[in-house]
Amino acid sequence: MPRVARANLQSLMRSIEESGPVRGDWPHYAKLGSNKHHCHFKEGQPTYVAIWEEIGEEINLVEVTYAGTHEKAPY
């Protein structure tokens, strides 16, 4: 993964940790279900996306289940 993409992913993960899993302030953010989310963290060719899931009800745990190119994303 390119350096810029890695830095952006780390920034996204900090944002999720600090402000929660709903990230409408990131490009192309969308909910994929009741507890799954995705957004682009690097635009261009190739575009990189992250998919994450909220786990548990009382413990706020978010697991990034995919971070990579848009073409291979397991939607």
pLDDT of residue 59: 58
- What is the pLDDT tens value at each position of the chain, 75 positions in all? 899 999 999 999 999 989 989 999 998 999 998 889 999 999 989 999 999 998 877 657 778 888 889 888 887
Domain extent for 24: 3-72
- How high is the pLDDT of residue 49? 94
CB 23 within 8 A of CB 15: yes
- Whose tokens are 């993964």? That residue is 1
Q: Extract the tokens encoding 75.
A: 């939607």
Count of structural domains within the chain? 1
